Structure 1
Amino acid sequence: MPITGGLSEPEPATPEIQHIADQVKQQLESKENTKYSMFKAILYRSQVVAGTNYFIKMQVSDNSYIHLRVFQRLPYENQGPTLDGFQTGKTRDDPLTYF
């Protein structure tokens, strides 16, 4: 169980994490003005706040990765995830850290 406010250890992405990332893909593509044919969640970390921040390492081509910060509101708020930040130009080996 993650500690409130603390960042969890990196874990392999699950289908749920891929689903969360897929829901913010369009937000990222409009901010980057590009389309990603590959959009595969590799690793993630989570941070429990008033909702959950997810830090997700996404593979977007053979050698190109992006880190996403996605905020998922509490379930009773009935809203989808929001892309709160992203970092481009990442490699598979770059650590997934808070940003």
Structure 2
Amino acid sequence: MNGVWSEPKPATAETQGIADKVKEAALKKLKQELFIEYKATEYQTQVVAGMNFKIKVQVTPAIAIRDVFYADYIQLVVYHDLKNEYSLTDATDLGRQP
């Protein structure tokens, strides 16, 4: 259905490719110089005049604190237009998550 986000799904190689296309823009938006790790973990889609992708990306290695593993995540919103171009529309730091 147009305008509604899909349920979250595990990231695919295609999802990683989309995230890679906007990595430099994400670094700039989040005022970062480097992401130690940059791995798409899940995504959602939204049909518009084109397609929006909401991609959750793990950006640092997991660390163990009291036997619980945590990692830092960001969320990217990427627009794929009808000319087959991708652009970052938003990047949010989601912080540390188990």
Please, what TM-score do these two structures have when normalized by structure 2? 0.82
Q: Rg: which structure is higher?
A: 2
User: Which letter does structure 2 place at the counterpart of 1:34?
Assistant: E
Structure whose residues are more often strand by fraction:
2
1:1-99 equivalences under 5 Å are 3-31=1-29, 32-61=31-60, 62=62, 63-74=71-82, 77-79=83-85, 81-92=86-97
Q: Deviations over 1:3-50 (max 9, x none)?
A: 111110000001001000000001111222321121000010000000
Cα pair 1:67 1:90 within 8 Å, conserved: no
Mapped to 2, the partners of 1:46 and 1:90 lie a distance apart of 22
Gapped regions of structure 2 (runs ≥ 5): 63-70
Identity of aligned residues (%): 40
TM superposition outliers: structure 1 runs of 4+ over 2 Å: 89-93
Mapped to 1, the partners of 2:20 and 2:12 lie a distance apart of 12
